[in-house]
Amino acid sequence: MEKLTPSDRDKYIKKFKDLPPDHAYDAFKNGYYYEATGVLHGFMEMQLRHILLAFSTLNLQNDSKDIWDTNEKLNYSNLNNVLYILQLITKDQFVILTSLNSLRNDIIHKYFHDPYEKYYFGVSHKKFHSIFKSSYNLSYDFMSKIHGMYERYDNTL
């Protein structure tokens, strides 16, 4: 495989124009709820991985390669549980993350579900908006938290 220059890479690799939470928000505003939920859920999973990686490598001084490889084997729910047990996230954050995971599962499984006697099994706008909004806000809290973890470590050097 040949190396791509940065300009070639932009032609062949698709990436977000904005931060993933903002892309998710735009999808939400435009009625693309499936995409909005999937993007935000995927981004939050990566934030959970980053928090665990930062904690394990900076605070516990573990080898980042070993932690990275093991971290990649954990799913969203496991990451959420581990970070809560280690008290790296609060109970409220844990509940928001659990709700986002449930919302994602509901949307993915109910999106393609046929109606039963003219009833569609979906997610209410109120529930969706409540979970999406709190998860979107939490995504920025987590970005700040991760930045702070590395900044505190850099200040101790």
End-to-end alpha carbon distance in the chain: 39
Closest by alpha carbon to 95, among 52, 138, 128, 54? Answer: 138
pLDDT at 7 over 80: no
- For the whole model, what pTM was predicted? 0.84
For residue 142, count CB atoms less than 10 angstroms from its CB and return exposed for 0-12, middle for 13-18, buried for 19 or more. Answer: buried
Q: What is the pLDDT of residue 109?
A: 81
Please state the φ and ψ torsions of residue 89, each to the nearest 5 degrees. -130, 155
Is the Cβ–Cβ distance between 101 and 80 less than 8 Å? Answer: yes
Least confident piece of the model among 54-63, 99-108, 126-135: 54-63
Q: What is the DSSP string of 36-97?
A: HHHHHHHHHHHHHHHHHHHIIIIIS---HHHHHHHHTT--HHHHHHHHHHTTSS-HHHHHHH
> Residue 103: what pLDDT?
96
pLDDT at 2 over 70: no
pLDDT digit string (tens) for 26-43?
999 999 999 999 999 999
**Is residue 1 scored above 60 in pLDDT?**
no
Instruction: Tell me how crowded residue 38 is: count the other CB atoms within 10 A of its CB.
Output: 16
In the chain, % of residues over pLDDT 90: 62
Q: What is the pLDDT of residue 22?
A: 96
